Amino acid sequence: MGQRLQSRGAIAKFLVSDHQRLGVLFRAAVANPDQVDHESYTHFRAGLLRHIGMEEKILLPAIQQRQGGNAWPLAAKLRLDHGALASLLMSPPRPAIVAMLQTILEAHNELEEGANGLYAAGDELVGPESEQLVARLKAAPLVSVMPYSDTEAVRTTIRRALERAGYRFEG
């Protein structure tokens, strides 16, 4: 967490508070790691997938457009993290899955929220149209969430997605 919320632009305010909302759901879901609260976890899972969609389909393209077609420098890394997070959400929330989600989210959110992060770049580049962009973010569709899957294929997908994003999975 970089600056205080009040000093931020509209995009940062909106997406940082979405991180905070998702953090509350996540902590409620895994307060007892041996017994995940599935209602909170289901809201967290759907909310995180929607949040990723807002960044990938709306914010990153808007930034790229305003940089003459050049992607934000860490866009590729953020997309790899998103792929890793989405793969982890396919699995039932075993303790190793939950721990990995927490590790990735901490590092990832810092890249987005920091003073030189994605959201500050968005507010700077989108400038006077940032309120309109926030309206588009708010209108982003809900994401349909698949049932959990714990097959060998899913485990392989998770391992590879994590490796591509630079994480090592011991689960």
Question: Does 113 help bind Fe ion (rule: CB under 5 A)?
Answer: no
Binding mask 41-60 for Fe ion (x = CB under 5 A): --------------x-----
Closer to Fe ion at the Cβ: 124 or 155?
A: 124
Closer to Fe ion at the Cβ: 62 or 150?
A: 62
Question: Does 112 help bind Fe ion (rule: CB under 5 A)?
Answer: yes
Q: Among residues 140, 163, 155, which one has the least CA distance to residue 55?
A: 140
Please give the structure tokens belonging to residue 123. 């507010």
CB of 34 to Fe ion, least distance (A): 28
CA distance 137 to 145: 19
DSSP string, 11-72: HHHHHHHHHHHHHHHHHHHHSSTTS--HHHHHHHHHHHHHHHHHIIIIIHHHHHHHTTTPPP
CA distance 77 to 80: 5
Instruction: Count the residues of the shown chain that bind Fe ion, applying the rule CB under 5 A.
Output: 2
CB of 78 to Fe ion, least distance (A): 5
Closer to Fe ion at the Cβ: 20 or 155?
A: 20
Name the site residues for Fe ion (rule: CB under 5 A).
Answer: 55, 112
